[in-house]
Amino acid sequence: MSIVSEMENRVWSREELMPRPELRALQLQRLRDCVERVSRVPFYREALNRNGTTSEALRGLDDLRRLPLTTKEDLRRNYPFGLFAVPREQLVRLHGSSGTTGKPTIVGYTADDLDNWSTLCARFLPSYALNLAEAAAAQGTDPRSLALRFGHFGAEPWTEDMRCRIELAFGLHAFNNYGLSEVTGPGVSGECCRRNGMHIQEDHFLVECLDPDTLEPVRPGTPGELVITTLTKQAIPLLRYRTRDITTLDDSPCACGRTGMRMARVIGRSDDMLIVRGVNVFPSQIEEALLRVDGTAPHYQIEVDRPGALDEMTIRVEMRPEKFTDSFAALEQLRRDISRTVSSIAGLHAKIELVKPQTLERFEGKARRVFDRRREPGRGP
């Protein structure tokens, strides 16, 4: 066995293997401490008072739902120091993330936070670091200068196809990981050697998967918005932070032995979500379906309309010239395959229209793929 695969299989701490009942007890205890800590933050103190919730009132993890949610907007509004639960002199590091919209968000760490953070990263960074180190060394680059940057791989939603291409291009295993700067940077979750989802570091983060519209928990295995409560953070503890990232959670046992729940790669942003006939649909699910049928994702558009009482979703797919064969049956088959795959991934029937290549609108940079006609004047409710 090579050093690389040995390191990939290595479990870094006892908490990663903790039986779930024990883990849940630890989470509850840490959640109470966390609520205690956030009570020092005016924003949370007010919100908790409104809900009439105290740390003692938390009898079980189900009571988590009695706690207030936190949005990115809340973080912005309380900029710069309104969310710190510790005196400023205890802060050792500030990190400002310059978002593309609005004011920068400031994030602070105490010495304890930084310790925790390096522990979390150590649990799965070795697989990155070692792979990268080999690649970097071959090019005469100092691998130490790259290791942390590599963690940002998880920040963008990507498809399995992209992962394959990255692996081919760089000749290394690309392990997914997930984190966000408001919470901790990389380190919320990461893939093990089995690569079948990212294990959430549940001893430090309590996660929920909520319907972005109703804010109720989704059914297990259904995509929803990831909501994170930081259990151990000192400087800026967050209660039920809405990440806007859409994923699915899986708490079934993993062959690697880690007990931490796994999250799928992020399939989109809650802002992109469409509600069609009561079903939550994400453009990335349509892309995934097209990829699965065709091998490459063709250019496509999604249109949602409500011609009568019911929503209708139409997916226009540009025909690829090499797919056209002069056979009616083959074209019909292609439509049926797309339709069937869309319903199995998104749980919704869509009308599939094949269109000529290069005929769907393209926009500078990011393509505009979704047209929701229900919101147009004179239409819909």
329 to 368, contacts with other proteins by CB under 8 A? 331-332, 335, 352-359
Binding string, 165-204, against Zn ion, x = CB under 5 A?
---------------------------x-x----------
**Residue 11 CA to chain centroid, in angstroms?**
23
**Residue 266 CA to chain centroid, in angstroms?**
4
Nearer to other proteins by Cβ, of 38 and 352: the residue is 352
Least separation in angstroms between CB 308 and other proteins = 18
18 scored as a contact of Zn ion (CB under 5 A)? no
Can you spell out the DSSP letters for 15-37? GGG--HHHHHHHHHHHHHHHHHH
Nearer to other proteins by Cβ, of 156 and 326: the residue is 326
Least separation in angstroms between CB 257 and Zn ion = 7
Q: Which does 254 bind (CB under 5 to 8 A by kind): Zn ion, other proteins, none?
A: Zn ion
Alpha carbon distances (Å) from 108 to 32, 79, 182, 197: 22, 12, 9, 29
Contacts of residue 79, Cβ cutoff 8 Å, sequence gap at least 6 = 103, 104, 105, 106
| 43 in Cβ contact with 82 (< 8 Å) | yes
Secondary structure (3-state) at 349: coil
Least separation in angstroms between CB 121 and Zn ion = 17
**Residue 20 CA to chain centroid, in angstroms?**
22
Q: Which does 7 bind (CB under 5 to 8 A by kind): Zn ion, other proteins, none?
A: none
Residue type, 261: M
Crossing angle for the helix pair 20-38 and 42-51, nearest 10 degrees? Answer: 110
Size of the site for Zn ion (CB under 5 A): 5
14 to 43, contacts with other proteins by CB under 8 A? none
Q: What are phi and psi of 97, to 5 degrees?
A: -100, 115
Q: Which does 258 bind (CB under 5 to 8 A by kind): Zn ion, other proteins, none?
A: Zn ion
Q: Give the residue carrying structure tokens 């593309």.
A: 100
Binding string, 113-142, against other proteins, x = CB under 8 A?
------------------------------
Structure tokens at 267: 């399939």
Q: Which does 271 bind (CB under 5 to 8 A by kind): other proteins, Zn ion, none?
A: none
221 to 280, contacts with Zn ion by CB under 5 A? 254, 256, 258
Nearer to other proteins by Cβ, of 272 and 318: the residue is 318
Least separation in angstroms between CB 21 and other proteins = 54
CA distance 179 to 187: 5
Residues that bind Zn ion (CB under 5 A): 192, 194, 254, 256, 258
Residues that bind other proteins (CB under 8 A): 319, 321, 324-328, 331-332, 335, 352-359
